């Protein structure tokens, strides 16, 4: 049998949780149980990799100290890692004994938090230990307290050894039906690999830099795309313009590949061409960039595109026919 102890306190002298853990370790070793202890404050940079240590554990002791409010950040971080990266099937077979000692207020609430978290993870609960300690020396010298800790440790051993069955809990049922936060859908091997990567500060920093570089690259590409859209076909129309004396007209091209319509204003020998909006046009056309390229390359005319159904128009047909006179592509 193997039991892991995860301590979420700060390791300060006078912490009553340390006394409880040491007493429990003594009892477990007398029962020939393999005990491995993890002080989270010493390995705080690798907490996300700790769910891997649950793989060969039959039971766990989650121990923490309430110094002012709640179970503490390191223990919460460990539980978060179990939710994100832990093997849920393995956790469902692990017995957990909570140990929450308080030097302020809230030891019962802290134990309830650990119990609820482990139930949501799918694990099995054992009777825990919680209490308020005002004077650590009186607490350590009290033989009745020591005997109580020993009995609770023996209960944990018997529960694991006999594989005691516990009744279903509502936390599991509610999580399955209405939980909005879902764990990552990963295989145990993928979760283990992800937890290792998440605990590697150098890897995480490199990923952040890569994301920033990609974001910058895409911004540049989007900027280039915008420039291309604002100049698409404009130079071709300007360079092939053949002015017609006394002719005035406004054309509007709706090209799906462009965000805005292409506007062509003709006034005698002057021609203005740009992407934008305009209140009124003599002829409005809907044409794809592919068909527009065919016209610019001289393989088709505007009139033929309309007659073939490759272009739709609205407005004066005579003004449309003039486009093939204004723009001669060879």
Reported as a single tens digit per residue, the pLDDT across 175-207 is: 555 444 444 555 656 655 666 665 666 666 777
The CATH number fitting domain 234-326, selected from 3.40.640.10, 3.30.1050.10, 3.20.20.100, 3.10.560.10? 3.30.1050.10
Backbone angles phi, psi at 248, to 5 degrees: -135, 135
**How far is the C-alpha of 320 from the C-alpha of 305, rounded, in Å?**
11
Instruction: Collect the ranges in the chain with pLDDT lower than 70.
Output: 172-204, 215-230
CATH of domain 2-199: 3.40.50.360
Closest CA to 11 of 44, 33, 36, 35: 44
**How far is the C-alpha of 121 from the C-alpha of 87, rounded, in Å?**
10
pLDDT of residue 178: 47
Cβ neighbours of 50 (radius 10 Å): 21
The answer to whether the CB of 258 falls within 8 A of the CB of 273 is no
Residues of the chain with CATH 3.40.50.360: 2-199
pLDDT of residue 153: 96
pLDDT of residue 205: 74
pLDDT of residue 180: 45
pLDDT of residue 186: 58
**How far is the C-alpha of 39 from the C-alpha of 19, rounded, in Å?**
14
Cα–chain center distance at 258: 33
3-state secondary structure of 216: helix
The answer to whether the CB of 1 falls within 8 A of the CB of 33 is yes
Tokens 């240590």 sit at which residue?
Answer: 53
Q: What is the pTM of this model?
A: 0.58
Residues of the chain with CATH 3.30.1050.10: 234-326
pLDDT of residue 123: 94
């Amino acid at each position: 049998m193997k039991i892991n102890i995860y301590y979420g306190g700060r390791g300060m002298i006078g912490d009553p949780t340390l006394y409880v853990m040491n007493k429990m370790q003594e009892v477990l070793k007398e029962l020939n149980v393999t005990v491995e202890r993890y002080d989270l404050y010493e390995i705080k940079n690798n907490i996300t990799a700790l769910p891997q240590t649950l793989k060969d554990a039959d039971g766990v002791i989650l121990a923490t100290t309430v110094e002012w409010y709640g179970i503490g950040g390191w223990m919460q971080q460990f539980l978060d890692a179990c939710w994100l990266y832990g093997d849920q099937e393995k956790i469902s077979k692990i017995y957990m004994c909570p140990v929450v000692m308080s030097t302020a207020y809230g030891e019962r609430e802290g134990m309830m938090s650990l119990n609820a978290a482990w139930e949501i993870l799918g694990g099995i609960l054992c009777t825990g230990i919680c209490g308020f300690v005002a004077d650590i020396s009186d607490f350590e010298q009290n033989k009745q307290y020591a005997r109580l800790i020993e009995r609770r440790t023996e209960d944990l051993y018997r529960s694991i050894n006999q594989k005691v069955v516990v009744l279903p809990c509502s936390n599991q049922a509610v999580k399955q039906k209405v939980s909005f936060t879902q764990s990552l859908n990963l295989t145990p091997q993928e979760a283990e690999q992800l937890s290792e990567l998440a605990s590697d500060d150098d890897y995480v920093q490199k990923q952040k830099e890569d994301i920033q570089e990609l974001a910058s690259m895409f911004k540049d590409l989007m900027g280039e795309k915008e420039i291309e859209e604002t100049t698409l076909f404009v130079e071709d129309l300007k360079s092939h313009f053949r002015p017609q004396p006394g002719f005035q007209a406004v054309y509007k091209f709706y090209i799906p590949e462009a965000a805005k319509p292409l506007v062509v204003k003709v006034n005698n020998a002057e021609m203005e061409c740009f992407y934008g909006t305009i209140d009124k046009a003599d002829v409005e056309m809907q044409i794809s960039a592919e068909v527009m390229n065919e016209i610019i390359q001289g393989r088709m005319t505007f009139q033929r595109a309309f007659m073939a159904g490759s272009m739709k128009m609205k407005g004066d047909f005579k003004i449309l026919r003039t486009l093939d006179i204004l723009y001669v592509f060879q």
